[in-house]
Amino acid sequence: MDQVNSTIPADAAFYRGVLDQISDGVYFVDRHRRILFWSEGAQRLTGYTGEDVTGHFCQDEILCHVDYSGKRLCREGCPLLACMRDGNPREARVFLHHKQGRRLPVLVKVQPLRGSDGKIVGAVEIFSDDSAQAETLRRTEELRKMALLDHLTQLPNRRFLEVSLESAMHGFQSMGMQFGLLVFDLDRFKEVNDRFGHAVGDRVLQETGKTLVASLRPTDVVARWGGDEFVALIHNANSDLLDVLSRRCTVMVNETAVAVEGDAVVRPSTSAGVALVRPGETAREVFHRADRMMYAQKAAVSGQRPAVSGPQLEAGSW
């Protein structure tokens, strides 16, 4: 046994190299939640390099972990902090903030790190992509071949959604398979284009689309309907599910943050409408019900938001 152990290098560089070969993200923190190590897998999943995060604290909210309700876990309910307090491992599904701005669902697993005296000196978090990325890539390639892909966002386009909606309607009429629609429209998106230019507006659309896909199930279809409007077709739906998914998407879009020149950050917000298919309806009628609800919500909140409430800048970045 001693001979076997002696063949394994004892220096830290060796173990760092091993961790960098893991496809999942890995990082260590000390008792104060200062990030001490950031793996190449973590960089690949988040877009942040080791230089971006090492030495910073989790509570600095670089990754800005939020749960499905949008609660900021770095401020309340941090799995790393809970793990170091009681020594018990944790597992949770959360959304992190990608460097490009979108929200990415990840499965996190946390374990305490102990010193030679058995006392907890920090914690390690391992996180993996929880967005069924392989299926998304496969679907994207199929749509590209069929000219059913939106060039800017790489989402299904309006034509694809219309065909999918008619297919869902046929399934409902023939077999009673319920479906629903979620319609999203970015609030005051024109202000982003006017102030920062269409290149920034395009980035906001791209990151919003990615956030919506990540917030829904792999079986749901998110399409760019046109302009700053997105539509999601939800299969096997009911009213409760539509409400849950609508709230989740709205929260995650509102948590999206796209960095622009200087220290400015554009934060999109969205209005949403939902509709569950009803007997005797056409596909067009289902869509119009959801669309009307979305515009009603937009009108209801427009007076409550500041002049740049729809994609907006963080305080102090004007």
Q: Which residues are catalytic?
A: 228
- Tokens of residue 104, six digits: 């990415």
- Cβ–Cβ contacts within 10 Å for residue 316, how many? 7
281, HSE (Cβ side, Cα atoms, 13 Å): 22
Which residues are 275's β-sheet partners? Answer: 181
- Tokens of residue 235, six digits: 């299969």
- Cβ–Cβ contacts within 10 Å for residue 152, how many? 14
Of 176, 272, 138, 289, nearest in space to 215 by CA: 272
Cβ-contact 60, 92 below 8 angstroms:
no
- Tokens of residue 76, six digits: 């309340």
- Contacts by 3-10, CB closer than 8 A, 24 or more apart: none
Q: How far apart are CA 247 and CA 251, in angstroms?
A: 6
Q: H or E segment at 31?
A: none
Q: What does the DSSP 8-state code read for residue 215?
A: H
Please report, as a single letter, which amino acid is at residue 255.
Answer: E
